[in-house]
Amino acid sequence: MAQGGYVKDVSGFEAIGGAMEPAFERQAELITSIADFFICHGEPTPRIDKAGWRLALSGDGLERPLTLSFADLAALPRHSVDAVLECAGNHRTLFESVMGEDLSRRADVTITRWHLGGVGMARWGGVRLADVLALAGVKPDAGFVMPVGLDIVREEDDEGVRVPLPRDKALDPDTIIAFTMNGQDLPPDHGFPARLIVPGWVGTYSIKWLGRIEVTRKRPWVPRNTVMYVLMGPQWPQTAFAPAQGAPVTRHPIRSSLALPLPARLAPGQHRLHGYARGNDHAITHVAWSADRGITWQDTKIVSEPARYAWTQFAFDWQAAAGEHALMTRATDAAGTTQPMAIPFNLGGYVFNAVHPHPITVA
């Protein structure tokens, strides 16, 4: 497996640590183009030969070990899902700019200072993970499924990027091994030749460049569920989650964003503004907006058809007068869950989803 640099043109992206963040205002359609999709991995993009690629299935939770070629994988029934993929740290800088919290408190973790652009939605195509695991026979007492990538992040260990899923989520019919993105073969930056897509959960679970899958009776403890993607702070005492150092970050929180520069600058007059609201297992069915910091709210127009795992595009007209302004948006899903007005800080700066002011200068 040869190593190489980024494959697509990222000249319009911002480099933040090992990630490449597009400006969120580039998002104009429901589906994010491959060219505008964010990139997040800690090492150079692996270059993998599809003909020689193999997927190994093993562990005490399987009836038998199994190794599959790409042709074996592609022969299974196809399934596709429109799903948001979002880094758990997206919106992280809002902890500083909105809440005044210091993001530099954890010396053991590299903080990627995401703004709004660590998110996108694609049409992922491939095969159900459940169908793949069925070929090896999942034992009744198997509790966890851990995908392992072919990339190695040095600040973790030398075993490959990995994080376990509970059995139920792994066998969900919309959890897939994807090998297409928006109808095209996965690009190298996005996991070619095959990656996991775990809809409704934060991006770290959608392991790229799959190399093996371990199915076990007991929960595996690895860097990504003990010290990295966990909520740490007074609200999450370590004693309640040991051996992890805090509560696991799993499902996407409900949140919304305006597709504008942050901060934005507009001319006076009427503007049609748009944005995107998303959650986890339930479609976003309502989005409100406020121009007076949440004293009064108005309904937006829902532009896209709400769907599970997809984001909802919304729009509204705003008559902009000269001066300094702050607009807010607040999402509600089909289960009645509404985006919170405030959230507690966690030391990793994960899953910021509070309603936040979007500053706009009109001049």
Percent of the chain with pLDDT over 90: 89
Q: pTM for this one? A: 0.95
To 5 degrees, how large is the angle CA 238–CA 239–CA 242? 75
CA separation for the pair 316, 297 (Å, rounded):
12
- Domains of the chain listed by start with CATH number: 2-248 (3.90.420.10), 255-362 (2.60.40.650)
As a whole number of angstroms, the distance between CA 229 and CA 202 comes to 10
Please give the Cα distance from 126 to 179 (Å, whole number).
Answer: 5
Greatest alpha-carbon span in the chain: 69
- Whole-number Å distance between alpha carbons of 262 and 91: 11
d(CA 6, CA 8): 6
Using the predicted structure, report yes or no on whether residue 77 has a pLDDT greater than 70.
Answer: yes
Among 43-47, 173-177, 248-252, the least confident range: 43-47
Residue 2: its pLDDT value, please?
A: 32
pLDDT at 254: 98
Between 37 and 46, residue with greater pLDDT:
37
Evaluate the omega torsion of the peptide bond into residue 193 and state whether it is cis, within 30 degrees of 0: yes
Cα distance between residue 272 and residue 292, in whole Å: 18
For residue 356, count CB atoms less than 10 angstroms from its CB and return exposed for 0-12, middle for 13-18, buried for 19 or more: buried
Residue the block writes with tokens 């706009």 = 360
* Cβ-contact 117, 128 below 8 angstroms: no
Cβ distance 245 to 227 under 8 Å?
yes
> Strand 176-181 and strand 247-248: pairing?
unpaired
Q: Give the contacts of 231 (CB within 8 A, at least 6 positions apart).
A: 246, 247, 248, 249, 346, 348, 350, 351
Q: Which two tokens stand for residue 56?
A: 């190994």
Beta strands 230-231 and 247-248, pairing class: antiparallel
pLDDT tens, position by position, 84-124: 999 999 999 999 999 999 998 877 777 899 999 999 999 99
How is residue 269 written in tokens? 């007059």
CB 18 within 8 A of CB 39: no
Task: Decide which of 10 and 213 is more confident.
Answer: 213
Alpha carbon of 326 to those of 105, 267, 297, 357: distances in Å? 29, 15, 13, 5
Contact of 277 with 311, CB cutoff 8 Å: yes
In this prediction, residue 6 carries a pLDDT of 54
